[in-house]
Amino acid sequence: MKKLNIMGNKECLPKECPPNVLSEENLFRSVPPIVRQLSKGFASKKWSSHNEPVPIPSKLEVEKLILQAQQILFPGYFTEMILSAENLEYHLGQTLSTLYENLARQVNSAIRHDCFRHNRSCTRCRERSYEIATAAITSLPEIKELLELDIQATLQGDPAAENADEVIFSYPGFFAILIYRLAHRLVNLEVPLIPRIMSEYAYSRTSIDIHPGARIGNSFFIDHGAGVVIGATTEIGNRVRLYQGVTLGAISLPRNAAEKLRKTKRHPSIEDDVIIYANATILGGKTVIGARSIVGGNVWLTESVGPDTKVLLKQPELIYLGKKQRNHEKSAR
């Protein structure tokens, strides 16, 4: 009997066939029942699937939207074209037009998918998509002003940052903030799904997880950044600085409470000019960190802190092992 190698579709003798080889007869006999079982599960609506007559937003296209926005907000940084005063307006006009059409197309898919998912009649979807795209691109100058303040906050907060170019090209914290500010605008315009696709793309690139629904003021700086988590109902004031591993999260919810608490404030509020050092965890919707306060590294907080307060851990007892270290201690005395 002929053998079918499902890895490479190459014939082989029975004694030579590896374990991943099935006979054609067994393979073709097994597939139809599996297909019927899967189809039945998807038809029952108990399994997640996208069996709808409208396309779902494309993750790849959403990532392209982010790049197009970067090319507009920071011309010359993310394009192969050499820009000058003579061709800048042409570049901006062309890229903005492309962004507008592509954004409207993805928003249209998101709105129609949302209507089908909630069994609502889909009306004026195309018109709404272009209205939303118009509002989004109209806000780009405002977003640009905020991003410039974020760059300045990075330069003022990190002595290792040599210049703005370095921040724009290389800083994961700034990249995550840029995507947050774009996604947050779409949240305000009530665009479903796309803002979360954007924030998860930022997380995949930086390990910084900022929910697009959070409210963040100007001059925001995330230093290093990996492991930072900012929940959906977090409120952050102006000139706030976070270090890596900071969590602004919610207290663990009991089972079946998620739907009831979905629209309530579950994450902390951070007022102006606060600094939160590495691996600090601040939880709860009623927790407020007062203006100009400093939260030290590894601190765990579930209650509010007043303005101008330092919250620090006691110095831990350290144990040193090894002759070299003991000799170093003696010489220090």
pLDDT confidence bin for 52, thresholds 50/70/90 = confident
The domains of the chain are located at 3-43, 55-208, 214-333
* CA–CA distance, 126 with 117 (Å, rounded to integer): 17
pLDDT in tens, 159-171: 999 999 999 999 9
Chain centre to alpha carbon of residue 217:
17
Which pLDDT score is estimated for 3? 47
Q: pLDDT for 128-161, tens place per residue? A: 999 999 999 999 999 999 999 999 999 999 999 9
Read off the pLDDT of residues 191-231 as tens digits, 9 standing for 90 and up.
999 999 999 999 999 999 999 999 999 999 999 999 999 99
Segments in 139-264 forming alpha helices (H): 140-157, 164-170, 172-188, 194-206
Inter-CA distances, 107 with 194, 241, 311, Å: 7, 33, 44
Residue 26: its H or E element:
helix 24-43
In the CATH hierarchy, which fold is given to the domain comprising 214-333?
Answer: UDP N-Acetylglucosamine Acyltransferase; domain 1 (2.160.10)
Which CATH superfamily does the domain covering 55-208 fall into?
A: serine acetyltransferase, domain 1 (1.10.3130.10)
Q: Give the model's pLDDT for residue 260.
A: 66
Please say whether the beta carbons of 267 and 234 come within 8 A.
Answer: yes
The confidence score (pLDDT) of residue 31 equals 85
Least confident of 54-68, 234-248, 268-282, 287-301: 54-68
**Would you state the pLDDT for residue 258?**
64
- Write the CA distances from 314 to 124, 299, 311, integer angstroms: 60, 10, 10
pLDDT at 8 over 70: no
Q: What is the pLDDT of residue 16?
A: 55
Q: What is the pLDDT of residue 274?
A: 98
For 21-47, how does the pLDDT look when each residue is reduced to its tens digit (9 = 90+)? 556 677 777 888 888 888 888 888 788
State the pLDDT at residue 170: 95
Per-residue tokens: 193: 């799904």
Closest to 281 in 3D by CA, of 311, 318, 240: 311
Q: Report pLDDT for 7.
A: 45
- pLDDT-derived band at 256 (thresholds 50, 70, 90) equals low
Determine phi and psi for 280, rounding to 5 degrees: -75, 145
